[in-house]
Amino acid sequence: MLLLTSEFSAMDIVADIQDLYKDNKWREIVARYHDHPERNKVLWVYPSEENFIFVKDCLAELLCDRIVSIGCGSGLLEWMITEATGVPVSGIEVDGAWWSCKYAPPNFIPLHITPTDIDKETISIIQRNKNAALLFCYFNNRKAFEDYLKYYNGNVLIIIGPHEKGVHTDPKPFNDVTDTWTIYKYQEIRNSGDFIVVYKKQNV
């Protein structure tokens, strides 16, 4: 089979990340790939140790003991969060051709696959534990975002995404949620222009 150069390099990244994952070397994954030109093939952000501690501290302060990540993609971020903080993270992805396509990245956590229109099983996952924070990283689907928030009955929302760097996400990390949510704390991921923004429900 003839492979293009870009296919070779993407496969190398994926294979190397898989090897590091098998050896539980999340720090090495971040160190090697946080500014790699093909990093988005597997994950959009590669938080530093300080960023993971920030997430862990926010969750502890807001009495959250787990995360449900919507649109988790490969689940690499979710796996790294658990490795770095000890906080369990479940991942939800939408059903579609991409996840069964041969170029799809591997999964680093088990995925719950949901239909485009949120179903009962997915709703039960996001409502199962009131102490779970809801995470959206580089999410890009406003209608689905609003649907998930409609059913989420917890108090903590985390949005990770680009701020003023010419990349589109929906929601954006800042100034893109209703008044129900107020910013609790935020931190930049290294100096990438990507931000982790932790919101809490008003009056909580």
Ligand X SMILES: C[S@@+](CC[C@H](N)C(=O)[O-])C[C@H]1O[C@@H](n2cnc3c(N)ncnc32)[C@H](O)[C@@H]1O
- Can you give the binding site for ligand X, defined by CB under 6 A? 43-45, 70-73, 77, 92-94, 114, 116, 137-141, 144
Nearest approach, Cβ of residue 2 and ligand X (Å): 28
Residue with tokens 């160190």: 31
* Antiparallel, parallel or unpaired: β 181-188 and 194-201: antiparallel
Residue with Cβ nearer ligand X (60 or 142): 142
Nearest approach, Cβ of residue 161 and ligand X (Å): 9
Residue with Cβ nearer ligand X (5 or 104): 104
Identity of the amino acid at 174:
F
Residue with Cβ nearer ligand X (142 or 202): 142
**Interatomic CA distance for residues 66 and 133, integer angstroms:** 6
Nearest approach, Cβ of residue 82 and ligand X (Å): 15
Overall size of the chain counted in residues:
204
Residue among 18, 27, 35 nearest 51 (CA): 27
Residue with Cβ nearer ligand X (45 or 189): 45
CB-nearest residue to ligand X: 71
Nearest approach, Cβ of residue 154 and ligand X (Å): 17
Nearest approach, Cβ of residue 7 and ligand X (Å): 19
**Interatomic CA distance for residues 108 and 21, integer angstroms:** 8
Identify the burial level of 90 via C-beta atoms within 10 angstroms of its C-beta, where 0-12 means exposed, 13-18 middle and 19 or more buried. Answer: buried
DSSP 116: S
Residue with tokens 């923004």: 197
Residue with Cβ nearer ligand X (22 or 168): 168
